Structure 1
Amino acid sequence: MNAASGRAVVVGIDGSAASREAAVWAIDEAESRDATLRPIVIVDSSDMRDRGGAAHRMASAQEAMRHAVSSIEATGRPVRIEGAIMHGRPVQTLLRESQTAVLLCVGARGLRHATEGRIGSTAAALSAGARCPVAIVRSRRAHQRRPRCVVVELADRSVADALLDCGLEEAQRHGSNLRVLAPSSGATTLKAHWQRRVDDARRRFPHLDIASVTGDSDALAYLAANAADVEVMVTSRNRRGGLADLVSAPGNAALRDTDCSILICGPQTAL
């Protein structure tokens, strides 16, 4: 495939199974955007204490890249791959990459998080600071056969239209149903606005199963209760209450045994 010049879906690779699964998950995202799939392994410059250790870390990085590329190629999909091994601080390096990426993907739980207990720290920093949408990926299980859904969290009218459009795109990429999560409380005019947008989406995309889900429980509670049916949740970088409950320790605890990914869209954040 001929990827559009400069367009890339970037995937952070750390050697963990979760990061390889994120790379495979990102294939649909890259193909639908006519973008290059760009797995990146970062050799942490803060760990460079001796030459022997540096050589070992480089060898580990090369092995991680080989495994990631092999996982992508094993799918047989015609996506263009351009991997890179870089030196630097992982979060800062990925934030720089996000300036030109169309999407940044990371696994929900990597090797460093599993061994050092820093659950969600990288995901939280990237979600807050990236200059492009960020996907916190939990892999799709091969045994899943029933239809699943993309959930769009609408809580703020200023970003609701953009989020709904993002959710519609995701539902089409993954062949999923679309569920629009909106609070049942609030001004009648606001609820009417959301319902009009949902009705309009049904007319524009008659092939998609689109439905509203209203309630006053928070998004994490909804995901925890319905995780088996949710493939991706789309939310805003500037969501009320912040992103910590979704991408840091609470979200990881609630969604640990699921394959529900989180896609953070919304206004770009200055670095």
Structure 2
Amino acid sequence: MNSADGAAVVVGVDGSEPAQRAIRLAAVEAARRNRALRVVHGFIWPLLHVPLDAPAGAPPGAGLRHQAEQLVADAVAEAEATVPGLRVSGEIIDGEAAAVLLGESPTAVLIVLGDRGLGGFAALVVGSVAVQVATHADCPVLVARGSDRADGPVVVGVDGSPVSRLAVEFAAEEAALRGAELVAVHAYRHPTSGGPGDMQPLVYDENELRDEERRVLAESLAGIAERWPDLTVRQTTRRGKAGRLLTEASAEAQLLVVGGHGRGGLAGLLLGSVSHDVLHHADCPVAVVRAPR
């Protein structure tokens, strides 16, 4: 997470309804963190060599560049109306949306965007921009999706990996800022092999396995109580697929936090299967936290 002085919350806008939700969510996040909000629009048309200015005789306000300027101005106004007094700026940056947002990520404290943009296949897949940014950004990415709730816990998926620890710390900070309970969910399915060539045991003690998985969860939460002494933390260890269990937990959560990669992830290349699942199916906003490169 970029915590440099002056780092802003960045929100990507394109005029779509999901982007409108993202603006409001980003404004609240910036206010919680006492950060400025930076509204960014990726203006792709110059790359396609499309005429940007209004043709002769066109009505006032015509032309792609002017439309983009109005889009950003409207987004800034929406953020200011959501949180009066918030420091908000807006900028149009030539480039494709995902590339523009990734370019912002090294100096941002958080990137916020909608789950789908203009032209997306609603209710089918999460937008490609959201997936690309969540996969490669150098800061946490918050995707506005599902239901907006002012109450409920912050839920974090835990699997014992290093990036999972980063997700826990981000979730703990979010829960503390929101005055919410932190629910740490650890899913397990069966014993894993100890190394290359090892076979999974055919017979194992369920109680021992459950105790071991609880230990993994407890170790992942070590130090959280000391850093956030007033935070209420609830630990949940359940057998099942992590994506499904976290999606179920999102039905009552105000935020779901996952690591970009867990055990077995191809770091820096692909979005982990669990984070991919919840981005598509969660019923609340989802934050994806990745290890810094």
Same fold (TM over 0.5): yes
Structure 2 residue identity aligned to 1:243: L
Structural RMSD (CA): 3.1
After superposition, the C-alpha distances for 1:204-249 in whole angstroms (9 at most, x for unaligned) are 545433211212323331243333302211111222466365666x
Give the structure with the larger helix fraction. Answer: 1
Aligned pair in 2 of structure 1 residues 182, 253: CA closer, same or farther (>3 Å)?
Answer: closer
Aligned pair in 2 of structure 1 residues 79, 195: CA closer, same or farther (>3 Å)?
Answer: same
> Normalized against structure 1, the TM-score is what?
0.81
Within 5 Å, give how 1:125-164 maps onto structure 2. 125-138=132-145, 141=148, 144=149, 147-164=151-168
Residue aligning to 1:239: 262
Within 5 Å, give how 1:1-271 maps onto structure 2. 5-45=5-45, 46-52=47-53, 56-114=63-121, 119-138=126-145, 141=148, 144=149, 147-184=151-188, 188=211, 191-195=214-218, 198=221, 201-202=224-225, 205=228, 207-240=230-263, 243=271, 245=273, 251=278, 254-255=281-282, 258=283, 260-269=284-293
SS of the equivalent of 1:268 reads: coil
Structure 1 residue identity aligned to 2:182: L
Q: CA deviation at 1:12?
A: 0.4
Aligned pair in 2 of structure 1 residues 51, 203: CA closer, same or farther (>3 Å)?
Answer: closer
Q: Bigger CA drift: 198-207 or 178-187?
A: 198-207
Q: CA deviation at 1:114?
A: 4.3
Aligned pair in 2 of structure 1 residues 179, 71: CA closer, same or farther (>3 Å)?
Answer: same
Q: What is the alpha-carbon distance in structure 2 between the residues aligned to residue 87 and residue 261 of structure 1?
A: 28
Aligned pair in 2 of structure 1 residues 41, 160: CA closer, same or farther (>3 Å)?
Answer: closer
Contact 1:21 1:139 in 2 (8 A): no
Extract unaligned runs of 5+ from structure 1: none
Q: CA deviation at 1:139?
A: 6.7
Aligned pair in 2 of structure 1 residues 68, 170: CA closer, same or farther (>3 Å)?
Answer: same
Q: CA deviation at 1:157?
A: 3.5
Extract unaligned runs of 5+ from structure 2: 56-61, 192-208
Q: What is the alpha-carbon distance in structure 2 between the residues aligned to residue 53 and residue 216 of structure 1?
A: 60
Contact 1:28 1:174 in 2 (8 A): no
> Normalized against structure 2, the TM-score is what?
0.75
Larger Rg: 2
Q: What is the alpha-carbon distance in structure 1 between the residues aligned to residue 248 and residue 21 of structure 2?
A: 24
Q: CA deviation at 1:90?
A: 1.5
SS of the equivalent of 1:74 reads: helix
Q: What is the alpha-carbon distance in structure 1 between the residues aligned to residue 238 and residue 186 of structure 2?
A: 7
Contact 2:161 2:262 in 1 (8 A): no
Q: What is the alpha-carbon distance in structure 1 between the residues aligned to residue 178 and residue 83 of structure 2?
A: 17
Structure 2 residue identity aligned to 1:136: V
Q: What is the alpha-carbon distance in structure 2 between the residues aligned to residue 206 and residue 267 of structure 1?
A: 25
Q: CA deviation at 1:197?
A: 5.2
Aligned pair in 2 of structure 1 residues 140, 68: CA closer, same or farther (>3 Å)?
Answer: farther
**Count of residue correspondences:** 259
Contact 2:154 2:182 in 1 (8 A): yes
Contact 1:112 1:118 in 2 (8 A): no
